């Protein structure tokens, strides 16, 4: 099924069930008022939501309405936890090369992951407000899963069973702040402002056979200012699948319902697939020509991110954001 959150001028918005085409929706206050409420009680709530979803797709709901995407905010407008992995080593290698950092010796067996900001997520079409272009504004196209409660020290199999929903996201990065911040040793803070989520969270079954081995086997498509930027396959070169990422996150502590676990920037070793962030494209330019010619994002630039399946169905809805001066 496909879920979203409608802007009702509250901090958490109102949960809606959206039809498969992404054109019609229905409010479900008798089941759950908000996405977080649904996740808090997923075992009871999910079957009820699924019944609504089936009726909605069959056109049998009188209270269904045409979905105005401008009224759709982030499916979880705020979450209790967002952990972002870095499961695509092609990305890790390229970006680390760009800032002169070595690959950690454990990179093939021990996932890179950081605690990311979750107290507010941008909507799919919300402007990215930044104080200065000098920060080196970049996008990162990623996929993520949303879990119910994960016990501490869960096995990979147990962790996989806690994955309930999937989305895509734009992990906005301020590249020029990263080297000094990471040199301090405590990870990202100012260099990683708020992230944008896709309009829809979907259950894994919505991906059909494209969801297997806890990976999304579809290309992540990105356009910068309307021009093709990349389409690496999310299922290729993903060193750690989502179940492994969730288990890593839960190693020494439980995860509470509604945890969002990101894949890291999608990247394939095949350079013909393009990139899903500017930092990588710039590194590839340096390798090819000795210097980066593509600038980071300027005020007014926009990025578009989506995943469509083999039938050209836009699964998660489109992230389309412009960078503007704060």
Chain contacts with its own copies (rule: CB under 8 A) = 11, 40, 78-81, 83, 86, 101, 104, 106, 110, 112-120, 129-131, 135, 152-153, 174, 177, 180, 182-191, 193-194, 248-249, 251-259, 326
Q: How far is the CB of 131 from its own copies (least distance, A)?
A: 5
- The SS3 call for residue 291 is coil
How many C-beta atoms lie closer than 10 Å to residue 57's C-beta? Answer: 17
Nearest to its own copies of 129, 158 (CB atom): 129
Say which residues have a Cβ less than 8 Å from residue 170's Cβ, sequence separation at least 6: 122, 139, 140, 141, 142, 195, 196, 303, 305, 319, 321
- Closest to its own copies by CB, 11 vs 291, is 11
Closer to its own copies by Cβ: residue 148 or 318: 148
The distance of closest approach from Cβ of residue 283 to its own copies in the complex, given in angstroms and rounded to an integer, is: 17
Torsion of CA 65, 71, 75, 81, to 10 degrees: -160
DSSP conformation class of 11: S
CB of 21 or CB of 183, closer to its own copies: 183
How far apart are CB 67 and its own copies at their closest, in Å? 26
Q: How far is the CB of 83 from its own copies (least distance, A)?
A: 7
Alpha-carbon gap, residue 153 to 254, rounded angstroms: 7
**Least Cβ distance, residue 54 to its own copies (angstroms):** 29
Report the distance separating Cα 54 and Cα 59, nearest Å: 9
Residue 272 CA: distances (Å) to CA of 160, 161, 275, 284: 32, 35, 9, 11
Name the residue nearer to its own copies (CB basis): 137 or 307: 137
Residue 108 corresponds to which tokens in the numbers above? 């093939």
């Amino acid at each position: 099924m496909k879920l979203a959150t409608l802007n009702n001028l509250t901090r958490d918005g109102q949960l809606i069930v959206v039809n498969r085409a992404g054109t019609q929706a229905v409010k479900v206050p008798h089941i759950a008022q908000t996405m977080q409420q649904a996740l808090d009680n997923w075992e009871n709530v999910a079957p009820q939501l699924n019944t609504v979803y089936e009726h909605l797709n069959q056109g049998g709901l009188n209270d269904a309405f045409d979905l105005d995407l401008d009224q759709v905010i982030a499916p979880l407008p705020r979450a209790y936890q967002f952990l972002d992995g870095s499961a695509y080593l092609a990305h890790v290698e390229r970006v680390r090369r760009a800032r002169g950092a070595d690959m950690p010796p454990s990179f093939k067996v021990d996932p890179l992951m950081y605690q990311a900001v979750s107290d507010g997520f941008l909507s799919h079409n919300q402007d990215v407000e930044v104080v200065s272009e000098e920060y080196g504004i970049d996008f990162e196209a990623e996929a993520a899963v949303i879990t119910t409660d994960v016990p501490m020290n869960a096995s990979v199999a147990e962790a996989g069973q806690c994955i309930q929903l999937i989305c895509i996201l734009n992990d906005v990065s301020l590249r020029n702040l990263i080297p000094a911040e990471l040199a301090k040793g405590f990870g990202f803070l100012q260099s990683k402002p708020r992230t944008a989520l896709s309009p829809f969270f979907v259950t894994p079954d919505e991906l059909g056979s494209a969801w297997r081995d806890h990976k999304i086997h579809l290309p992540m498509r990105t356009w910068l200012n309307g021009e093709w930027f990349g389409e690496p396959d999310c299922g290729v070169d993903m060193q750690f699948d989502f179940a492994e990422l969730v288990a890593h996150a839960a190693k020494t502590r439980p995860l509470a319902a509604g945890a969002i676990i990101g894949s890291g920037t999608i990247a394939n070793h095949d350079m013909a697939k393009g990139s899903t962030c500017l930092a990588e494209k710039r590194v590839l330019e340096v390798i090819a020509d000795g210097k980066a010619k593509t600038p980071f994002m300027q005020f007014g630039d926009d990025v578009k991110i989506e995943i469509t399946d083999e039938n050209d169905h836009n699964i998660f809805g489109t992230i389309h954001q412009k960078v503007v001066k704060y």
